[in-house]
Copies of this chain bind each other. A is one copy, B any other.
Amino acid sequence: MSRTVRVAVAQSGPIQKTDSREHVVARLLEMMKQAAAGKCNIVLFTELALTTFFPRYYEEDRGKMDDWFESGMPNSATRPLFDTARELGIGFSLVFAELTADQHHYNTQILVDTQANIVGRYRKVHLPGHAEYEPERAWQHLEKRYFEPGNLGFPVWRTMGGVMGMCICNDRRWPETFRVMGLQGVELVMLGYNTPTLNSMKPEETAATRMHHNHLCMQAGAYQNACWVAGCAKAGDEDGHDLMAGSCIINPDGEIVALAQSNEDEVIVHDCDLDECAFLKKTTFDFDAHRRIEHYGLISSQTGAVPPPE
């Protein structure tokens, strides 16, 4: 069996508040068909791929935000994605706001195989932002209000010929995310992001610096765990709020090998040879030979920073 996975990253342009799920799914289907026509094995969609980035809106009554959530997957609006994927024999990964049967809210990603079976589910662990209205911000970022932190850890799945992992947006800034998957031998990490082009707390921070942060974290995660990373943006102007693009595919050397060029719906493709992970996993990043866990205790025992006394 070939160990090369042809990966399509399907960047989304902006999605407006009034856009229906059906309208959005039609855009995703168009990109899925394009990926399948290019003989891709899997197509990665972005974070909150079905809606606008609604955590920018404050609502005192959280229950009123449930319309942004999916209470079943597939559901009537998203079933065409599953049907078309099965028909075309392409896998996909989708991120959406999940409302569970027992009323929990998560920022959730699924991995769907080429027979349209949901084979993996991840729930975003690192929720950025805040839970209450913060007037000092240029705009709100209320992920901690509308979502609970993921309760599934960072699992990996052996499917499509390799070891697959998922994470979402802010997760990529935390090396722990990639390392926990690296310790399970991950070979391809798929992630989506909705990241503002401006910093709501630091207006002088340039878009270039913010894109550098974005790529830096994914590149380091790839290299330091000797895996491929695919990052998929939601880009462009959503209701006056600009989201950065920069969707990319990164090799196990941490080098960007494919990069989106627009702020619109755009598919980028790369043949990811999972066997390319082996060299670094066996040498520089032979964890068994080189890691020294006796000195890592703080990482999993202490949450916040504790500087030495003044």
- Residues of A with Cβ closer than 8 Å to B? 125-128, 149-150, 153-154, 156-158, 163, 170, 173-176, 179-180, 182-185, 201-202, 209, 212-213, 216-217, 219-220, 223-224, 253-255, 279, 281, 283-288, 290-293, 295-310
Measured CB to CB, the closest approach of chain B to A158, in angstroms, equals 5
From A177, which residue of chain B is reached at the shortest CB distance?
Answer: B295
Residues from chain B with a CB closer than 8 A to the CB of A279 are 201-202
From A302, which residue of chain B is reached at the shortest CB distance?
Answer: B183
Do B287 and A305 touch (CB < 8 A)?
A: yes
Do A125 and B295 touch (CB < 8 A)?
A: yes
Do A298 and B183 touch (CB < 8 A)?
A: yes
Cα separation A161 to B37 with both chains bound (whole Å): 60
From A163, which residue of chain B is reached at the shortest CB distance?
Answer: B307
Do B125 and A308 touch (CB < 8 A)?
A: no
Do A308 and B185 touch (CB < 8 A)?
A: yes
From A206, which residue of chain B is reached at the shortest CB distance?
Answer: B253
Measured CB to CB, the closest approach of chain B to A178, in angstroms, equals 8
Residues from chain B with a CB closer than 8 A to the CB of A176 are 179, 291, 295-296, 299
Do B128 and A290 touch (CB < 8 A)?
A: yes
Do B305 and A184 touch (CB < 8 A)?
A: yes
Residues from chain B with a CB closer than 8 A to the CB of A163 are 307-308
Residues from chain B with a CB closer than 8 A to the CB of A305 are 182-185, 281, 287-288
Selected from B174, B219, B301, the residue in CB contact (under 8 A) with A224 is B174
Residues from chain B with a CB closer than 8 A to the CB of A308 are 156-158, 163, 184-185
Do A158 and B302 touch (CB < 8 A)?
A: no
Do A287 and B304 touch (CB < 8 A)?
A: yes
Residues from chain B with a CB closer than 8 A to the CB of A153 are 295
From A290, which residue of chain B is reached at the shortest CB distance?
Answer: B126
Cα separation A296 to B153 with both chains bound (whole Å): 8
Do A299 and B209 touch (CB < 8 A)?
A: no
Do B184 and A306 touch (CB < 8 A)?
A: yes
Residues from chain B with a CB closer than 8 A to the CB of A299 are 176, 179-180, 183, 293, 296, 299-300
Cα separation A154 to B156 with both chains bound (whole Å): 30
Which among A128, A254, A303 has the greatest number of chain B C-beta atoms within 10 A? A303
Known: A175-B220, A308-B158, A309-B158. A303 touches B284 (CB 8 A): no
Selected from B150, B284, B293, the residue in CB contact (under 8 A) with A128 is B284
Residues from chain B with a CB closer than 8 A to the CB of A150 are 295
Do B296 and A253 touch (CB < 8 A)?
A: no
Cα separation A288 to B288 with both chains bound (whole Å): 30
Residues from chain B with a CB closer than 8 A to the CB of A219 are 216, 220
Known: A220-B217, A309-B158. A296 touches B180 (CB 8 A): yes
Cα separation A154 to B254 with both chains bound (whole Å): 26
Selected from B126, B216, B292, the residue in CB contact (under 8 A) with A220 is B216
Cα separation A300 to B287 with both chains bound (whole Å): 12
Do A297 and B295 touch (CB < 8 A)?
A: no
Measured CB to CB, the closest approach of chain B to A47, in angstroms, equals 17
Measured CB to CB, the closest approach of chain B to A247, in angstroms, equals 19
